[in-house]
Chain A
């Protein structure tokens, strides 16, 4: 993985830059000591590390604006950071960049149950948004696996999803408005508490732009009343093909479950050893969850169970209590941890058309044998968002590179069958150089032209998303 060489001119600016930043921020909000900047050297893609020139922790939109204005004037790149949970290296610094962390900006600014929105500072964690409205039985729908730690700022930057987006959508479907600071320090308001944009859908454009168009400091999010209840059902099948057919049949039958999760045999075995959830030893396992009152749940599960039985399951387990529900989810929720017990792993995030599921799983199995690396599959089957986990040994020379090559092959396969490189994690640095497999040069050019509009000097998170060669002239300009 290449990153641009640090700019000696900018490195030499450090004392002057820190002095100017200290004029607008409290002393402890500017971090320049090399031992301390190390805390910001990577995100959850830990294979790549680089301490930044400095890190700043502003507390308000005004402070963010001051920081960006100074960096803009001095020509210093800025890497925005939520909680640093990106699996794609979205918050990886360069040696000549300033990390702008929003971790001190966690206030709830307005809660409105009648109009069903919450306005807050974006450093607030995903789970604590729901926490803030729980007492009125409301919740915030997008629920990425990292929801305990990840910040709304990062959710907006990556357009994060979660297990329940089949019904509730992803971040972009639940974002009503933002306060955003442009790279030159200008503060803009887009959207609000009302629905839909007046002019161009800039809100939709900003969501998922990986911190490259502006720094979102405040957000208005749609909140929803909690359903009366939810209940999962677990099904085991002898083949991936059959499990894939069950998913398709459920969707065609007119039921819209809130989640359909899929695990394959390697993943089932690993989680069983780790979490002892009592999963059957079979080729493919599905967890399907529906919501509503007890009677409504029964009605939906009737339809689902009929379909499930028709395809001869090796196991079919309905939950009869909250404990049983928790047990059904236990293995799925500990899948990543379980795989981590076996080895180091890399988590991929491609999406495929649901109909291609059996073919793609078969190809991944073949590639696994060719590369000599184990792989487990766990994913959101209802929307085709796969999370293959490739096992490797970080201490074995060459294993990481081998794993990355295998991962790249899987993602190219996703594109080949009509899918995409990333369903919810983002491109970051991880998939940056694979973008050419999904997009023609003109498709990338028009996206980069959008960045030209928002950040003409290419100072915000510059070495991400686009292949370095494709963005070279713009970054140098």
Chain B
């Protein structure tokens, strides 16, 4: 498939389209429509390790990109999650899918989200026009930043055909500090103190009784910061310093503890200090388990199927990541927006997709 063919397919569409990359992240209100996949629009277009930039077609498998980056000692810094285990999907995750859903993992707390590393996009709008915004350079304020708007718009404003990303060097070494036995409140206090230190923590989580802090960089630097954090957090107990723990961070990234457990999965974004109380409140409403990432700012909540776990007066937002189609039709998947914001979202959709054919309803709640 070429970008032109994608454009023709959209221009010639006579009804709703269900847009897929690799089809591994069926998040949102179910869409009825003809399938349009960008998987065939694949390949790395340009990679300049010395400039930390990579350009790839939207359907390029993430694995292909990670392999190319690894060969040059680099990586996607925002640590995108692989949703297959959690959502029970097959298929091949694509870079376009990651961008369309603005997928970021534990390192987001230190380096930023997927959208922060997205330098440019090419996409086809609902009229079939091929459009571009941003570019392949790191600093660019030329015109409006539609790059950010496209990240996380889940194919409802346009279908991505190509993305440019900033990448970063892979660190020489990694170490993990692990506390065990802290209650949630102490755990969040400990990771908060760590994140408020100058020691550049690149992961801060509390999962299944373990409180985890990740350090990355050159060897001496990692060892120095590990000692400094042990001292800083001595009042919380003695932290073990473990080398690597790649699997542990991958398990957190992919929310592995919920893979084999039944139940809906909700994702909360809040300020870290609010997290322990929120977790308590959610348990009161039936939550089965809570995992804390992003220093407590992100909560993965396992909940009984079909139950509305959205808290009113939440300062932050909640997304229903895993649930049956019926539940995703009945409950809002995304945080309901205040009326003026809802209007802006609707008006933007009407401009980008006047016929309303791109993933219609996916990000809306239609009661």
On A, residues with C-beta under 8 Å from B are 112-117, 137, 158-159, 161, 165-166, 169-170, 172-173, 182, 186, 188-190, 192-205, 207-209, 225-228, 247-249, 251-256, 292-293, 295-296, 299-300, 303, 351-355, 380, 383-385, 418-427, 431, 435, 438-440, 442-444, 446-447, 449-454, 465
Report yes or no: A192 in contact with B315, Cβ–Cβ below 8 A.
yes
Interface: B171 (CB within 8 A): yes
Residues 168 to 185 of chain B near chain A (Cβ within 8 Å) = 168-172
Report yes or no: B50 in contact with A355, Cβ–Cβ below 8 A.
yes
Contact check: which of B132, B141, B196, B316 meets A443 at CB < 8 Å?
B132
CB pairs A–B below 8 angstroms (26 shown): A112-B271, A114-B272, A137-B198, A165-B139, A172-B116, A186-B340, A188-B341, A200-B152, A201-B148, A201-B149, A201-B152, A202-B341, A202-B344, A299-B221, A353-B51, A353-B137, A383-B138, A422-B140, A426-B141, A438-B142, A446-B352, A447-B146, A449-B351, A450-B144, A450-B149, A453-B347
Report yes or no: A296 in contact with B224, Cβ–Cβ below 8 A.
yes
Nearest CB of chain A from residue B352's CB, rounded to whole Å: 7
For the complex, what is the distance from the CA of A216 to the CA of B243, rounded to whole Å? 46
Interface: B37 (CB within 8 A): no
Given contact pairs A188-B340, A351-B137, A201 touches B151 in the complex (Cβ within 8 A): yes
For the complex, what is the distance from the CA of A226 to the CA of B196, rounded to whole Å? 9
Given contact pairs A198-B337, A251-B51, A444 touches B72 in the complex (Cβ within 8 A): no
Nearest A residue to B140, CB-CB: A420
Total A-B residue contacts, Cβ distance less than 8 Å: 262
- How many B residues touch the partner, as a band? 35 or more
For the complex, what is the distance from the CA of A198 to the CA of B220, rounded to whole Å? 39
Residues of A near B51 (CB, < 8 A) are 248, 251, 353-355, 384
Contact check: which of B109, B116, B168, B218 meets A300 at CB < 8 Å?
B218
Interface: B195 (CB within 8 A): yes
Given contact pairs A353-B53, A353-B137, A199 touches B172 in the complex (Cβ within 8 A): no
Report yes or no: B351 in contact with A450, Cβ–Cβ below 8 A.
yes
Report yes or no: A424 in contact with B273, Cβ–Cβ below 8 A.
no
Report yes or no: A188 in contact with B338, Cβ–Cβ below 8 A.
yes
Residues of B near A256 (CB, < 8 A) are 168-169
Residues of A near B147 (CB, < 8 A) are 204
Residues of A near B1 (CB, < 8 A) are none
Which of A195, A249, A293 has its CB near the most chain B CB atoms (within 10 A)? Answer: A195
For the complex, what is the distance from the CA of A440 to the CA of B122, rounded to whole Å? 12
Report yes or no: A424 in contact with B139, Cβ–Cβ below 8 A.
yes
Report yes or no: A199 in contact with B125, Cβ–Cβ below 8 A.
no
Report yes or no: B168 in contact with A453, Cβ–Cβ below 8 A.
no
Interface: B197 (CB within 8 A): yes
Which of A115, A198, A200 has its CB near the most chain B CB atoms (within 10 A)? Answer: A200
Residues of A near B197 (CB, < 8 A) are 225
Report yes or no: B344 in contact with A454, Cβ–Cβ below 8 A.
yes
Nearest B residue to A452, CB-CB: B351
For the complex, what is the distance from the CA of A355 to the CA of B50, rounded to whole Å? 8
**Further 5 A-B residue pairs, CB within 8 A, beyond A115-B271, A169-B112, A354-B50:** A169-B116, A188-B340, A208-B145, A447-B133, A453-B348
Residues of A near B340 (CB, < 8 A) are 182, 186, 188
Report yes or no: B141 in contact with A208, Cβ–Cβ below 8 A.
yes
For the complex, what is the distance from the CA of A292 to the CA of B298, rounded to whole Å? 28
Contact check: which of A186, A197, A351, A443 meets B152 at CB < 8 Å?
A197
Residues of A near B60 (CB, < 8 A) are none
- Chain B 260-275, CB-CB to A under 8 Å as 1, else 0, gives 0000000001111100
Residues of B near A453 (CB, < 8 A) are 344, 347-348, 351
Report yes or no: B137 in contact with A419, Cβ–Cβ below 8 A.
yes
Report yes or no: A296 in contact with B220, Cβ–Cβ below 8 A.
yes
Nearest A residue to B347, CB-CB: A453
Nearest B residue to A205, CB-CB: B149
Which of B125, B147, B149, B344 has its CB near the most chain A CB atoms (within 10 A)? Answer: B344
Residues of A near B48 (CB, < 8 A) are 353-355
Nearest CB of chain B from residue A448's CB, rounded to whole Å: 9
Interface: B52 (CB within 8 A): yes
Residues of A near B153 (CB, < 8 A) are 200-201
Contact check: which of A199, A293, A446 meets B146 at CB < 8 Å?
A446
Which of A165, A248, A449 has its CB near the most chain B CB atoms (within 10 A)? Answer: A449
Given contact pairs A173-B116, A188-B341, A443-B132, A204 touches B151 in the complex (Cβ within 8 A): yes
Interface: B250 (CB within 8 A): no
Nearest B residue to A244, CB-CB: B50
